[in-house]
């Protein structure tokens, strides 16, 4: 796909900069779920405990404990609301694509599998970066999740001949993004890499587009642009954590070339370090922070336009709601 926002110059002497904290606290607008969507979310949240119970008996309790330990702060209530943490358009897209061409049971299965795709994405990330230590339990949990995801997706594809394009091609694209053979040296390249890395969560939208007749290119564009906006918002909110950890996030690539060393100098340090204070001032006065908001809004606009072209006005409306607080923040800067 060739769509991409065009970044604007980062320096603007007319901008009266807000403090970094204001940007770190920004969030998407809240979406009021319909009763049907609330029911779908409840179904998503109910699936993790039965999923753990599908493991060999010796691993079941340990799996529930491990998910609580690494993802929910040891709170069972958080486990039972696990998917509340994801912005609704990550899964409501499937509901908006429902039609007579797919049964209610199949649509419910697709939404549950979308949840499994997101669980896998988080689990793989945490295992790969060492946040979760490798163990027989975690390996089996990952294997079981992949099996459930792939087998469920295969059941929703009408023809075996379509499985390569609708399932395995996207999985291959995901692993290509995770391997990262091509260098990332710009924000555009960073977003392109992430577009690959989100590919497992595109499997179900693409299957439903094939089943229901929605334009697959428009559905893909709407979903990917939303996900990139989400990623950049996370990067903005986590910029301190990322800089101190040495992670080159989207905010790093928004910095002018001559100022990127300030980000690199923060690796391994504490928030009180002088290097972080210097980077904070750089972020506040260089125009990077409002530029990040504009970039996020540009991706949301792309997503909304694609959703409207795909004849998914409900989904487009959700994307419009996400943008509200970001627009307000930019108005405060003017």
Could you report the per-residue pLDDT of 13-51, keeping only the tens digit for each? 444 467 999 999 999 999 999 999 999 999 999 999 999
Q: Are residues 152 and 175 located together in one domain of the fold?
A: yes
In tens, the pLDDT along 239-284 reads 999 999 999 999 999 999 999 999 999 999 999 999 999 999 999 9
Q: What is the pLDDT of residue 138?
A: 97
Q: What is the pLDDT of residue 16?
A: 46
Q: Are residues 46 and 157 located together in one domain of the fold?
A: yes
In tens, the pLDDT along 281-299 reads 999 999 999 999 999 999 9
Q: Is residue 92 part of a domain?
A: no
**Percent above pLDDT 90 for the chain:** 86
Q: What is the pLDDT of residue 181?
A: 72
Q: What is the pLDDT of residue 18?
A: 76
Q: What is the pLDDT of residue 14?
A: 43
pLDDT of 328 > 80? The answer is yes
Q: Is residue 227 part of a domain?
A: yes
pLDDT of 1 > 60? The answer is no
Q: Is residue 45 part of a domain?
A: yes
pLDDT of 227 > 50? The answer is yes
Q: What is the pLDDT of residue 73?
A: 74
Average pLDDT in the 298-323 region? 98
Note if the pTM is more than 0.75.
yes
Phi, psi at 201, each rounded to 5°: -80, 0
Our count of domains for the chain comes to 2
Q: Are residues 69 and 196 located together in one domain of the fold?
A: yes
In tens, the pLDDT along 37-93 reads 999 999 999 999 999 999 999 999 999 999 999 998 767 677 889 999 999 999 999
In tens, the pLDDT along 109-154 reads 999 999 999 999 999 999 998 999 999 999 999 999 999 999 999 9
Name the 3-class secondary structure at 171.
Answer: helix
Average pLDDT in the 159-171 region? 91
Q: Is residue 278 part of a domain?
A: yes
pLDDT of 176 > 60? The answer is yes
Determine the Cα–Cα distance for residues 27 and 23; give it in Å rounded to an integer: 9
Q: Are residues 153 and 226 located together in one domain of the fold?
A: no
Q: Are residues 206 and 304 located together in one domain of the fold?
A: no
Residue 5 binned pLDDT confidence (cut-offs 50, 70, 90): low
Q: What is the pLDDT of residue 80?
A: 86
Average pLDDT in the 167-189 region? 92
Q: Are residues 187 and 176 located together in one domain of the fold?
A: yes
Residue 303 binned pLDDT confidence (cut-offs 50, 70, 90): very high
Q: Is residue 93 part of a domain?
A: no
Q: Are residues 147 and 64 located together in one domain of the fold?
A: yes
C-alpha atoms less than 13 angstroms from C-alpha of 308 in its C-beta half-sphere: 9
Asked which of 147, 180, 213 is the last residue of a domain, the reply is 213
Asked which of 181, 213, 245 is the last residue of a domain, the reply is 213
Asked which of 213, 247, 266 is the last residue of a domain, the reply is 213
Q: Are residues 150 and 228 located together in one domain of the fold?
A: no
Q: Are residues 147 and 288 located together in one domain of the fold?
A: no
Q: Is residue 247 part of a domain?
A: yes
CA dihedral sign of residues 26, 230, 111, 68: negative
Q: Are residues 236 and 200 located together in one domain of the fold?
A: no
Residue 4 binned pLDDT confidence (cut-offs 50, 70, 90): low
Q: Are residues 298 and 253 located together in one domain of the fold?
A: yes
What residues make up the domain containing 248?
Answer: 1-31+214-334
Determine the Cα–Cα distance for residues 122 and 274; give it in Å rounded to an integer: 33
Q: Are residues 53 and 147 located together in one domain of the fold?
A: yes
pLDDT of 215 > 50? The answer is yes
Q: What is the mean pLDDT of the chain?
A: 93
Q: What is the pLDDT of residue 153?
A: 97
């Amino acid at each position: 796909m060739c769509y991409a926002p065009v970044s604007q110059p980062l320096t603007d002497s007319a901008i009266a900069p807000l403090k970094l904290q204001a940007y770190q606290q920004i969030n998407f607008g809240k979406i009021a779920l319909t009763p049907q969507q609330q029911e779908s979310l409840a179904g998503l949240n109910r699936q993790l405990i039965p999923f753990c119970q599908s493991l060999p008996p010796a691993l079941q309790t340990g799996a529930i404990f491990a998910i609580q330990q690494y993802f929910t702060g040891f709170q069972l209530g958080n486990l039972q609301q696990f998917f509340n943490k994801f912005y609704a358009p990550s899964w409501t897209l499937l509901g908006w694509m429902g039609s007579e061409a797919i049964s209610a049971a199949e649509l419910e299965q697709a939404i549950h599998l979308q949840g499994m795709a997101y669980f896998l994405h988080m689990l793989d990330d945490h295992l790969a970066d060492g946040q979760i230590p490798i163990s027989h339990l975690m390996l089996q949990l990952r294997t079981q999740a992949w099996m459930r995801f792939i087998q469920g997706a295969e059941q929703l594809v009408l023809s075996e001949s379509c499985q390569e394009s609708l399932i395995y091609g996207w999985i291959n694209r995901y692993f290509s993004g995770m391997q990262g053979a091509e260098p990332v040296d710009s924000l555009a390249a960073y977003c392109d890499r992430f577009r690959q890395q989100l590919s497992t969560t595109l499997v179900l939208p693409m299957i439903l587009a094939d089943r229901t007749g929605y334009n697959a290119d428009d559905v893909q564009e709407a979903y990917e642009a939303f996900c990139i906006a989400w990623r950049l918002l996370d990067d903005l909110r986590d910029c301190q954590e990322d800089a101190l950890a040495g992670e080159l996030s989207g905010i790093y690539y928004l910095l002018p070339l001559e100022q990127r060393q300030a980000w690199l100098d923060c690796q391994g340090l504490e928030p009180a370090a002088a290097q972080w204070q210097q980077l904070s001032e750089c972020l506040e006065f260089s125009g990077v922070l409002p530029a990040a908001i504009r970039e996020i809004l540009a991706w949301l606009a792309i997503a909304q336009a694609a959703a409207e072209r795909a004849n998914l006005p409900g989904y487009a409306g959700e994307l419009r709601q996400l943008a509200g607080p970001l627009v307000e923040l930019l108005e405060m800067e003017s």
